[in-house]
Amino acid sequence: MPNDDRRQSELRSFDNTKAGVKGLVDGGAFVIPQIFVHPPHHLDGITAKSCLSQQVPVIDLDGFNKDPQRHKAILEEILRASRTWGFFQVVNHGISTSTLEATLDGVRRFHEQDVETKKKYYTRDYTRKMLYNSNHDLYTSPAVCWRDSFNVIVEPGPLEPEELPEVCRDILSRYSKEVIELGTNLFKLLSEALGLDPNHLIDIDCAQTLALFGHYYPACPEPEHTLGTRKHSDYSFLTILLQDNLGGLQVQHQGEWVNIVPLAGALVVNIGDLLQLVSNDKLRSVEHRVVVNRRGPRVSMAAFFGRDTVGVNSRSYGPIGELLSEENPPKYRATTIRGYTSYFHNKGGDGISPLKHLEL
């Protein structure tokens, strides 16, 4: 069998197990199957230690909307972090540590429940409100990642509780509500930080859609040959990421990979491609990845605002007029979310951000 056919057939048999990477590990895999081996250029710096002098900024949101001096300082910190790193961590963000822990537990419980129950959710039909699979780009990416994920479309709602898996139903409903509140506050802060009316980003529907992804990265027998998530930027407006304490998330900064060190009770916030586009590069969507570990599983929950798989948002997005001037002309052509994501899905494997293709 030619190599390509063999690879396709291995991908299909892995997909057909519907048990994901966790299924391989439970089956006693002590080497990783060939389809998970990444080419060397994906694995640059994989064994390097983090650059200790550099850390993603940690922003204390306490005082937001209450103390005018703190409020102003928060706006400055957010703007600086978003234009230099594209990432920051937030503390005192309004979601309790017990809710965060319960959310991560819920993600773990979903992936560790009885396989037969879990399999019912296994599909690649992204119009489904709740689904689970391993690697959304399994058949198109150059190498498979050591990760399984579930995906819930929270907004547009309503999301009926019965549509959610029983093992994590209550906590997913609770976390969704709280993360929407935090997301709304962050969009207000970002609008203000850009010098716009606080409601600007909300008014142009940046928070109209919300998808939650519950990722599960099993312990990996050969972490130096694969990745949990390969290098990418997020095709959202904004992402709020909750990670557990194992670490593995890395962000590109000044040509280096920097570990985003887990901080108890904190959430990681990052600017997505669509916010880079509408802010005309004032805010930056930065590439990141997840490395895996012999220890595991690692779990995380990513909340994507503006990732619209159902196509409710038909607005066209280009650089915001108020941010443009003669010295600062538009850098991108306008696009719809549908146009943007279809590009991503078609060319997802080429590793080039779709933003590049919209540059003027």
Q: Cβ 215 to ligand OGA, closest distance in Å? A: 4
Could you say which of ligand OGA, Ni ion, none residue 213 binds, taking C-beta under 5 to 8 angstroms by partner kind? ligand OGA
Q: Cβ 245 to ligand OGA, closest distance in Å? A: 12
Indicate the residue among 248 and 319 with the shorter CB distance to ligand OGA: 248
Q: Cβ 288 to Ni ion, closest distance in Å? A: 6
Indicate the residue among 155 and 234 with the shorter CB distance to Ni ion: 234
**3-class DSSP state of 183:** helix
d(CA 309, CA 185): 24
Residue 71 φ/ψ, nearest 5 degrees: -55, -45
Chain positions 224 to 253 lying near Ni ion, rule: CB under 5 A, are: 234
Indicate the residue among 106 and 319 with the shorter CB distance to ligand OGA: 106
List the structure tokens of 187. 């969009």
Could you say which of ligand OGA, Ni ion, none residue 133 binds, taking C-beta under 5 to 8 angstroms by partner kind? none
Indicate the residue among 22 and 288 with the shorter CB distance to Ni ion: 288
Q: Cβ 300 to ligand OGA, closest distance in Å? A: 4
Strand arrangement of the beta sheet that strand 238-243 belongs to: 58-60, 87-91, 267-271, 238-243, 298-305, 210-217, 148-155, 130-133
Indicate the residue among 81 and 196 with the shorter CB distance to Ni ion: 81
Q: Cβ 198 to ligand OGA, closest distance in Å? A: 27
- Size of interface with Ni ion, in residues (CB under 5 A): 1
d(CA 144, CA 354): 21
Indicate the residue among 241 and 283 with the shorter CB distance to ligand OGA: 241
Q: 297 with 149: CB under 8 angstroms?
A: no
List the structure tokens of 26. 């439970």
Q: From the centroid of its chain, how far is CA 203?
A: 23
Q: 133 with 123: CB under 8 angstroms?
A: yes
Cβ-based neighbours of 325, under 8 Å, separated by 6 or more: none
Residue nearest to ligand OGA (CB): 300
Could you say which of Ni ion, ligand OGA, none residue 211 binds, taking C-beta under 5 to 8 angstroms by partner kind? none
Cα→Cα distances 268→43, 151, 293, Å: 23, 19, 20
Q: Cβ 246 to Ni ion, closest distance in Å? A: 17
Could you say which of ligand OGA, Ni ion, none residue 250 binds, taking C-beta under 5 to 8 angstroms by partner kind? none
Residue 77 in the binding site for Ni ion (CB under 5 A): no
Indicate the residue among 36 and 304 with the shorter CB distance to Ni ion: 304
Cβ-based neighbours of 45, under 8 Å, separated by 6 or more: 256, 257
Q: Cβ 268 to Ni ion, closest distance in Å? A: 10
List the structure tokens of 157. 């709602």
Residue 243 exposure: Cα atoms within 13 Å on the Cβ side: 21
Could you say which of Ni ion, ligand OGA, none residue 215 binds, taking C-beta under 5 to 8 angstroms by partner kind? ligand OGA
CA angle at residue 83 from 255 to 184, to 5 degrees?
130
List the structure tokens of 285. 């969507």
Could you say which of Ni ion, ligand OGA, none residue 25 binds, taking C-beta under 5 to 8 angstroms by partner kind? none
Run of H or E including 209: none
d(CA 310, CA 127): 6
Could you say which of ligand OGA, Ni ion, none residue 95 binds, taking C-beta under 5 to 8 angstroms by partner kind? none
Applying CB under 6 A, the residues found at the interface with ligand OGA are: 213, 215, 229, 234, 241, 243, 249, 288, 290, 300, 302
Residue with tokens 């719809």: 336
Indicate the residue among 87 and 187 with the shorter CB distance to ligand OGA: 87
- The residues of the shown chain that bind Ni ion, judged by CB under 5 A, are 234
